[in-house]
Structure 1
Amino acid sequence: MIMESSPGGRAPAVDVGGVSRVFTGRKGASVTALDDVSLTVAPGEFVSLIGPSGCGKSTLLRLIADLDTPTAGSIRVFGKPARQARIDQDYGIAFQQAGLLPWRTVAGNIELPLELHGAGKAARRARAAELIELVGLSDFADNYPDQLSGGMQQRVAIARALAESPSLLLMDEPFGALDEMTRERMQNELVRICGETSAAVVFVTHSIPEAVFLSDRVVVMSPRPGRIRDVLGVGLGDTAERGENLREDEAFFHAVSQVRELLHGEAPTGARGVETR
C-alpha cells in the first residue's frame, strides 16, 4: 500500500510511517484511534480517506497537520517533520465549517493568513484578487460571509487555504454540510483548482461517490482501532480533467462499487493494493 518513491525523485508530499495514536481518558482508560498506519502521498496526488465514523480519518489528518502528536511512528511532509512543515506553511487546511470571520469581507478573510505572516498590503491585495478569481467570486470580493451561500463560503475557505501557495491541501469533509447539488458543483470546482495549482490533497470524506470522483487513490480505513484496510487506485484519468459527465460513466460506477465492497471488508478482483503511481 505504500509507494516507495515519488515521481522525479522528489520527497513525498506526505509520508506516514507506522503511526499510532492512543488517547488516554479519565481513570486511565485508553482508546486506540489509529494503529500502525503507513501511507505515502506523492506531490500533486489527490488521496481521499474514507471509512466508518470513529475510524481515525480526521485524527490522521490532524496528525499530518501537526494539530496533534502521534503516540508512535513518524510523519514527514515534503521531507520535513510535520511541525516544521506547519511553521514553513507548506500546507493549507479546510474544514467542514468554513470558519470565516464575520467582520471581514471575502477579500479580508483570504488576506488573513498573509497578514498574520507579515505580507505587505499590496501583496495581500494582489494575492487575494488572484484567488478570488480562481474560485469564481470576483463579484463578491467586498461581501461579508453572511451575504454568501454555504457553497460560496466554502470557496472562500478554500481560497484562504491556498493564500500562501501551499503544495499540500488538508481537507476534512469540507463539503459535508452542503446540499447535494452544491456539493457536486464544489467537487467540480475543487478538481479545477487542484489542476491549476498542482497541490497534493489529503481529503477526508464519508461519501463514496465524492471520494471516487475527486481522487487518484482512495484509502479505505477499518473501524476503530483505525487501520488502512486497503487502497484503491481509481484509474479515471487526470483529476483536473474530470467533469460532470464522469458521474454517468460506467468506470465511475464500477469504482464506487469497489470502494463500497472494500468498506464492507470484501476485496473485488484486482482491487486489493492497486496503485496509480
Structure 2
Amino acid sequence: MSAKASGVAAGSLAVDVTEVSRIFTGKKGASVAALDNVSLTVNPGEFVSLIGPSGCGKSTLMRLIADLDTPTSGTIEVFGQSARQARLNQSYGIAFQQAGLLPWRTVAGNIELPLELHGVAKPARKARSAELLDLVGLSDFAHHYPDQLSGGMQQRVAIARSLAESPRLLLMDEPFGALDEMTRERMQNELVRICGETGAAVVFVTHSIPEAVFLSDRVVVMSPRPGRIRDILSVRLGETGERGENLREESSFFQAVSQVRELLHGEVPVGARGVETR
C-alpha cells in the first residue's frame, strides 16, 4: 500500500494522536481495553518507534493512525487531516511484517501497482519504478518474481512500493521481524538511508530494543495492556541517513539501549530522557 500526500495543511504535524482509547467488545459482552488515553505527536521527517510488551497496543495504534480501525474515543490527525481523510487522500505508505507481494507480478510490477491503481500513465509508472529500484538497490532485479528473491530483498521491494507515490509518512509494523539478524541489520541500514534521502516521517512498530534505538529520533515505550505511553526517550545519535554500521559499537548506543530496557521494566522514574553522541 502506498500514497502521496495531498490536501496537506502547511506546517502541520505528521501525526497528532490526542487522548485515544480503543476498547474491543467480545461476543459475550466482555470488553478488552487495548489502548487507554494515548497522546502522541510525530513531526514531519521524524522517525518514531513504538516498543512495548506483546499485547500493549502498538499495532492497534498503528492501525488507528492508518484508519484500518476506529478509536473508541479521542482523535487522530495526519498532516492536519482526519485519519479517514488521510487514507482517502493516500497521504501515507504502509509496510507490514510480511512483504505481501503479488507472486504473479514482477518486482517492477509490484512497485508500480499502487500507481497503476490510481491511474498513473505507464511511462510515468516505469520511470518511478526504475527510480525506486535504484533507491533500494534492486535495479538488476526489476524483471524477477518475488519467489526468486530473498526475504530481505522482498522487504526492500515492499518498502519501494510503499514509497511509490512519494508519501510524507511511512507506517511500518515490524517490517523486519521475520528476517535473520544479519539481514535485519542490513535492512535497518537501508531504511535510515532511504529515510534520509526521502525526508519521510516514520512510525515504526518493533519488539527489538537495539532496532528502535538505531533507527529512531524518539522511542515511545508503552506499558502492558491497557496500552499507555510509559515514557518517551529522545535518541540523538546522528541525523537520519547518516547513522552507519559503527553506531552499534558506540557507548552512546549501548547507553540508549539500556535506558529503553529499564523503561520497559519500569526500573527508572517516568520522564523524558535523552541520549546524545558526544
- Same-fold status (TM-score > 0.5): yes
TM-score, structure 2 normalization = 0.94
Q: Which AA in structure 2 matches 1:33?
A: A
TM-score, structure 1 normalization = 0.94
Q: What residue in structure 1 maps to residue 46 of structure 2? A: 45
Q: d(CA) in 2 for partners of 1:244 and 1:107?
A: 29
Q: What residue in structure 1 maps to residue 238 of structure 2? A: 237
Q: d(CA) in 2 for partners of 1:159 and 1:275?
A: 32
Secondary structure in structure 1 of the residue aligned to 2:102: coil
* RMSD of Structure 2 on Structure 1 (CA): 1.2
Q: What residue in structure 2 maps to residue 4 of structure 1? A: none
Q: What residue in structure 1 maps to residue 97 of structure 2? A: 96
2:10 counterpart of 1:15: no
Provide the aligned length of Structure 1 versus Structure 2.
266
Q: d(CA) in 2 for partners of 1:170 and 1:156?
A: 15
Question: 4+ residue runs of structure 1 moved beyond 6 angstroms?
Answer: none
2:208 counterpart of 1:195: no
Q: What residue in structure 1 maps to residue 138 of structure 2? A: 137
Secondary structure in structure 1 of the residue aligned to 2:186: helix
Secondary structure in structure 2 of the residue aligned to 1:49: strand
Q: d(CA) in 2 for partners of 1:56 and 1:113?
A: 28
Equivalences for residues 110-149 of structure 1 within 5 A = 110-149=111-150
2:135 counterpart of 1:153: no
Deviations 1:243-274 (A, max 9, x none): 00000000000000000000001227xx8223
Q: d(CA) in 1 for partners of 2:225 and 2:78?
A: 25
Q: Which AA in structure 2 matches 1:66?
A: D
Q: Which moved more, 1:81-90 or 1:130-139?
A: 81-90
Q: Which AA in structure 1 matches 2:204?
A: F
Q: Which AA in structure 1 matches 2:272?
A: G
Secondary structure in structure 1 of the residue aligned to 2:16: strand
Q: d(CA) in 1 for partners of 2:119 and 2:176?
A: 30
Q: d(CA) in 1 for partners of 2:268 and 2:112?
A: 46
Deviations 1:111-165 (A, max 9, x none): 0000111111111111000000000000000000000000000000000000010
Q: What residue in structure 1 maps to residue 3 of structure 2? A: none
Question: Could you tell me how far 1:88 is from its partner in structure 2?
Answer: 1.1
Q: What residue in structure 2 maps to residue 6 of structure 1? A: none
Q: d(CA) in 1 for partners of 2:202 and 2:119?
A: 26
Secondary structure in structure 2 of the residue aligned to 1:234: strand
Q: What residue in structure 1 maps to residue 258 of structure 2? A: 257
Question: Could you tell me how far 1:87 is from its partner in structure 2?
Answer: 1.1
Question: Could you tell me how far 1:96 is from its partner in structure 2?
Answer: 0.1
Question: Could you tell me how far 1:89 is from its partner in structure 2?
Answer: 1.2
Q: d(CA) in 1 for partners of 2:69 and 2:225?
A: 18
Q: Which AA in structure 2 matches 1:63?
A: L
Deviations 1:155-191 (A, max 9, x none): 0000000001000000000000000000000000000
Deviations 1:52-103 (A, max 9, x none): 0000000000000000000000000000001111111110000000000000
Q: d(CA) in 2 for partners of 1:62 and 1:229?
A: 20
Q: d(CA) in 2 for partners of 1:87 and 1:195?
A: 27
Q: d(CA) in 2 for partners of 1:14 and 1:193?
A: 20
Secondary structure in structure 1 of the residue aligned to 2:13: coil
- Retained in 1: the 8 A contact 2:196–2:241? yes
Q: d(CA) in 1 for partners of 2:240 and 2:193?
A: 8
Q: What residue in structure 1 maps to residue 176 of structure 2? A: 175
Q: d(CA) in 2 for partners of 1:275 and 1:255?
A: 8
Q: Which runs of 5+ in 2 are unaligned?
A: 1-9
Q: Which AA in structure 2 matches 1:134?
A: L
Q: Which runs of 5+ in 1 are unaligned?
A: 1-8
Q: d(CA) in 2 for partners of 1:162 and 1:232?
A: 27
Question: Could you tell me how far 1:10 is from its partner in structure 2?
Answer: 1.3
Q: Which moved more, 1:208-217 or 1:236-245?
A: 236-245
Question: Could you tell me how far 1:275 is from its partner in structure 2?
Answer: 6.7
2:71 counterpart of 1:63: no
- Retained in 1: the 8 A contact 2:218–2:235? yes
2:273 counterpart of 1:274: yes
Q: What residue in structure 2 maps to residue 28 of structure 1? A: 29
- Retained in 1: the 8 A contact 2:195–2:241? yes
